[in-house]
Amino acid sequence: MRDVPKTADLLDWYDRHARDLPWRVSPADRALGVVPDPYAVWLSEIMLQQTTVAAVRDYFTRFMTIWPTVQDLANAEDERVMGEWAGLGYYARARNLLKCAREVAALGAFPTTRDGLQALPGIGPYTSAAISAIAYDLPETVVDGNVERVMSRVFHVETPLPDAKPEITQLAETLTPKKRAGDYAQAVMDLGATICTPKSPACGICAWNRDCLARKAGVQAELPKKKPKAKKPTRYGVAYLARNAAGEWLMERRPEKGLLGGMLGWPGAEWGDAAVEQPPFDADWQDPGVDVRHVFTHFNLHLSLRVVQINGQVQPEQGLFLDIKRSDLPTVMRKAFDVATTHLSH
């Protein structure tokens, strides 16, 4: 019978080496009875989806300063929240963040069951498990990228990701403890983030090194296996940036559903395999000589720019002239804004 990793070994390690994160209640404080704030746990988990801890720290701290409670966030203006979110990407998360905050505020508090949490906008199986475990100490199994890597090595899972996800989750469930489930969930994530790293794992100081089947086979650095990624396509577009004499910019709001849904953007044709010229009105549009490049999850964007200063009246076919701040825009639109303002100031 093979050895099985011991939860107690990992928790002992976590008690000594837990990362200091702004949304986390330390194991020492938790042992003294300090209870995590479900709002802080939820906010951090939404921000951390497909984003690194390093990228999220400042955003989380700023959000908690501006909107310290879920009620504060529920009462916030959409544009302000979107502006503060800019740079984190995946703007559907920000839209669902507001929807969820408003539902929770109407309920009076966050639900205390996984099913209740998962019924809220933007909370799927992973996030509901994470909040249940971390905020409420329920014995739910939390499986993120770090946990997938740890489990694939500890149990020597040869099946490549993403096909291995059900197998890994089932194996992870066998280790989830009834007590200290929240600390345990964070301990496994910390182990993956700091010790059982993608390259050159520090097996010599790992709390589970004696029980790791991949280490015994000498293949820990080769796991988890992953299917080859398809090459990311490139899309092309033309953005039209017009400023009038009042300092307003011609903007349009993108459709609620889809990429950058509901956010302000520059008029132009749909992005596709080729850039399509579609000016919102006739003018002496200038090419500033600098294109915008941006990387989205599923494609790369190459955006050509056209810029004009308007001193008279125009009737655009797309958009409205608005008094905007740079912070009102998503990152890709900010890049274009920076180029346009530099060009028009010369």
Residues annotated as part of the active site: 45
Q: What does the angle CA 257 – CA 165 – CA 15 come to, to the nearest 5 degrees?
A: 100
Write down the H helix ranges in the chain.
7-17, 27-31, 38-48, 53-66, 70-74, 78-85, 91-107, 114-118, 125-136, 145-154, 165-173, 181-194, 213-217, 331-345
Q: Is 55 exposed, middle or buried (0-12, 13-18, 19+ CB in 10 A)?
A: middle
Cα 80 to Cα 265: distance, rounded to the nearest angstrom = 15
In sequence order, the 6+-apart residues with CB closer than 8 A to the CB of 321 are 242, 244, 246, 248, 249, 250, 251
Q: Which two tokens stand for residue 36?
A: 């995590």
> What single-letter amino acid sits at 219?
V
3-state secondary structure (DSSP) of residue 302: strand
Q: For residue 84, which of 101, 70, 72, 67 has the smallest C-alpha distance? A: 67
Torsion of CA 128, 130, 133, 135, to 10 degrees: -90
- The length of the chain in residues reads 346
